[in-house]
A and B are shown apart, each in its own frame.
Chain A
Amino acid sequence: MSAAQWRNAMNSGAASARPAPLATPVAEPLAHGELPSWLQRLGRHIGVRHVVVLLALLLYPAVANSFFTFQIGAQSLALGLVALSLTFLGGYGGMVSLAQMTVAGLAGYLVAIFGSSSLAAISLGWPWWLAVAFAIVLATLFATAVGWLSVRTEGIYTIMITLAIGVAFFYLAQQNYTLFNGFQGFNKIFPPKVLGIDFRAATPFYYLTLACALAGYFFVKLLVRAPFGVALQGVRDNPRRMHSLGFNVTAHRVAAYAVAGLLAAVGGVLLVWYNNRISPGSMNTGAMINILVIAVLGGMNRPIGAFVGALVFVLLQNFAIDLVSRERFNLVIGGVFLAIVLFSPNGLVGIWTQLRARLGARKAIHTPRRQQ
């Protein structure tokens, strides 16, 4: 098979496996003539369920104990944000990168190196906002560089090259002592106290991650409807045609990596504050694949999938041990993953869309047809 044939096969395969984004109303109102303001469009898309979910998220710490607020809630949101970067890259850009956890890990390391930790010999002790700003900017640049390296490859080769980059960075962190402190990494990296609010406490930290997650979610929602996002989806579905239409395919892809890198970097800062520490183990192959598992579990064709996947993943990790024998609980985790991937190629969100479609179809039979 020639390279061009292979690429075509990959593209047509990718397109047929992913009908949802085109089927949703996302694509329709984008005829270039009518471009109402973002707010108007947002208003049209907000339904009852959005308000319910948002209220539930806001009131959650009031009903949940500190464990559910912090370890389940905040961790799901932070992991979800990293997974969202992969959902954006994979679902809308057609590029599956395994290095998203590496970008997050680098951001975490940079917070430790620029900010303060238990290792005074390495940490520079900058104020937290400066350290975080530098960490996010540098990690985003790193992600852009990863993108620049890997956009020339497709499909399985993108996975391989990003895996290689991730593993290389893991070994660099594990064996470098002057900058990354080797195997042991950094301890005591605490979230800051701002205006008297200690973000180390469960509830403030939950709201911090929630704010970042919502910002990331809406950012992606808006971006995929913006000309850039639509062009990116075009590049995903048929790069050759986009190229002949005058779009710079490579630039769009690299830009997608940069955007995804920004999301992953913010998630990485949140994760390092969540764990209070970072070591090479935080971004080893297992952690890199966990992000892929979360994204696939939730469903790669909707931004919300990343967060649904993260929630289920975190719940399983915490409670599978209570359901079965202590020594065999990893079987439950594996079994659930297998079942979801087997029965719904589009993940949990895919099950939800299928159910809605089915219920909607039934309703259509029983009730007179409504025209909007």
Chain B
Amino acid sequence: MLAAATAAAFTGAAWAQETLKIGLLATLEGPFAAPGQDSMRGADLALKQKNGMAGGKKVEFIKASSDATPDKAVAATRKLVEQDHTPIVIGPLSGDEGIAVKNYAKTQPNTTFVNGSSGAQAATWGDPAPNFYRFNTEGAQWMVGLGEHALAKGYKRTFLIAEDYGFPYSQVQGFMASYCAKGGKVVDKAWVPLGTKDYSSVIARIPKDVDALLVVLGGSDAVNFLTQYEQAGGNKPMIGGSITVDQTVLNYKGKRRESLLGTASAGPMADSIDTAEWKKFVADYKANFKDGFPSPSLFAYLYYINTKATLDALDAVKGDLSNGQKAYRDALQKTNFKGPAGIVKIDENRNGVGTTYITEVAKAPDGSFYNKVVKVVPDITQTLGLPKEQFMKMGLGSRDVPDCRN
């Protein structure tokens, strides 16, 4: 075992002259295994579009896996950096993993880390690592503009149901930042543990006089909540988070399915973006991955833009990673290209400044449901459109920040 491992390490070193190795980390195990696979497809697609070359060298991905826990993400990253000696690492997938990898990045100044799809604010805000880059926007940015949209629909008082961890905190903050400033109220908040099966006590708490529910749950949690809310006879309209109203929820077969129509949500992409770049991206994805999803997932898209930025910058410096990767990092900082869903560029904290799509659930002619783009909000910064001082005064999103109750 040990011998095999060291042998692998030596042969790896001998190859380094001809090929450039880039570490690629996603979750191939655990609750996010399916999204993890799709994120690998996104990264592979970006490399395929360049015929496997960047900066004049053949690029080889060394793939690594975590199970969405920060410990495992750091262990896998450490193996890529210290054992496989990859000068660049792309990943990880989930929020808390991103914070852990950022903290590890500080101990490895000679390696460049590019985020995969982690959407935790703290990965780049507050205490950033100088060698950690995130070309996508994060969880709070994805919800900017949804607050105004909710107010325009007449939802002045809402009740919040969200999972109790970092990503929903960020999403809720992104929603509230503008919603509360313009007079909206979130009258009460129900934070439920990830993977909650029974929502009856939460549903009993929903006041009668709210206009809508803000539901920031993902996957099976969202489906469980919807089913139980329907059984309890609930009829309030919903506003969803970025991963709440995805295909798993839209395909849900309950009686209340029709009432999902018009549910607003927001995110960094949408299935129905009507631009040539997006259509080409979807066509390329479908052509390359017969075993993939009907349309690229959020994770495939985020890994795609981060990988594309990584490879384009290698082209810009002709593969020169000398001098502590200084020229390469300057090129990364200057990244500015038109991605499938808007301009990809970063700010001085190396965090994405990008576009958010406000969508509503609509019915296609064939009877299936999809998210229709109703509004495009470009150039969203990490301070959510607020001046920096005002954002810092509010602080990062948590259970009680911002409050917005009264």
Contact = CB atoms under 8 A, between A and B. Distances in A.
Decide whether A and B assemble into one complex. Answer: yes
Interface of A: 65-68, 70-71, 75, 174-175, 177, 182-184, 187-188, 200, 275-277, 279, 281-282, 312, 315-319, 321-323, 326-327, 329-330
Contact of B65 (A66, A187, A276, A329): A329
Nearest to A326: B63
B5 A322 contact: yes
A165 B40 CA distance: 39
A329 B107 CA distance: 29
Nearest to A322: B8
Given A319-B4, A326-B63, 19 more contacts: A65-B83, A66-B82, A67-B79, A70-B82, A71-B83, A177-B399, A275-B70, A275-B74, A277-B71, A279-B69, A282-B71, A315-B1, A315-B5, A316-B1, A318-B83, A319-B5, A322-B8, A326-B40, A326-B65
A184 B82 contact: no
Contact of A65 (B29, B63, B71, B82): B82
Given A66-B82, A67-B79, A174 B70 contact: no
Contacts of B65: 321, 326, 329
Interface stretch (B96-104, B263-271, B344-352): B96-104
Contacts of B199: none
Interface in B32-60: 37, 40
A281 B71 contact: yes
Contact of A71 (B28, B79, B107): B79
Interface of B: 1-2, 4-5, 8, 28-29, 37, 40, 63-65, 69-71, 74-75, 78-79, 81-83, 96, 99-100, 103, 107, 164-166, 193-194, 399
A330 B29 contact: yes
B389 to A, nearest CB: 22
Given A183-B193, A323-B4, A318 B165 contact: no
Contacts of B96: 184, 279
Contacts of B82: 65-67, 70-71
Contacts of A184: 96, 165-166
Nearest to A327: B28
Contacts of B37: 327
A323 B69 CA distance: 23
B274 to A, nearest CB: 34
A65 B81 CA distance: 11
Contacts of A183: 164-165, 193-194
A83 to B, nearest CB: 17
Contacts of B71: 275, 277, 281-282
Contacts of B2: 315
Minimum-distance CB pairs A-B, first 9: A67-B82, A67-B83, A183-B165, A281-B69, A319-B5, A326-B63, A275-B71, A315-B1, A66-B82
Contact of B1 (A188, A275, A312, A326): A312
Given A71-B75, A326-B28, A327-B28, A319 B165 contact: no
A198 to B, nearest CB: 11
B69 A174 contact: no
A184 B65 CA distance: 21
Contacts of B79: 67, 71, 318
A100 B313 CA distance: 49
B59 to A, nearest CB: 17
20 contacts: A66-B82, A67-B83, A70-B78, A70-B82, A71-B75, A183-B193, A183-B194, A184-B96, A184-B165, A275-B74, A276-B103, A277-B70, A277-B100, A279-B69, A279-B70, A315-B5, A316-B1, A318-B5, A318-B79, A327-B28
A297 to B, nearest CB: 13
A67 B78 contact: yes
Contacts of B194: 183
Contacts of A67: 78-79, 81-83
B83 A68 contact: yes
Task: Identify the interface centre among A66, A282, A318: most chain B CB within 10 Å of its CB.
Answer: A318
Given A275-B71, A323-B4, A326-B28, A175 B64 contact: no
Contacts of A321: 63-65
A85 B79 CA distance: 28
Contacts of A187: 99-100, 103
A277 B97 CA distance: 12
Contacts of A327: 28, 37
A291 B81 CA distance: 27
Contacts of A322: 5, 8
Task: Identify the interface centre among A68, A184, A318, A323: most chain B CB within 10 Å of its CB.
Answer: A184
A174 B193 contact: yes
A175 B165 CA distance: 11
A217 B83 CA distance: 29
B129 to A, nearest CB: 13
A275 B96 CA distance: 14
B70 to A, nearest CB: 6
A315 B71 CA distance: 16
A322 B74 CA distance: 17
B124 to A, nearest CB: 15
B92 to A, nearest CB: 14
Contacts of B1: 312, 315-316, 319
Contact of B164 (A71, A182, A316, A329): A182
Nearest to A315: B1
Contacts of B75: 71, 75, 317-318
A275 B74 CA distance: 8
A318 B164 CA distance: 31
Contacts of A326: 28, 40, 63, 65
Task: Identify the interface centre among A70, A188, A282, A321: most chain B CB within 10 Å of its CB.
Answer: A321
A71 B70 contact: no
Contacts of B4: 319, 323
A56 B194 CA distance: 45
A187 B100 CA distance: 8
Contacts of A282: 69, 71
A71 B84 CA distance: 13
Nearest to A276: B103
A166 to B, nearest CB: 17
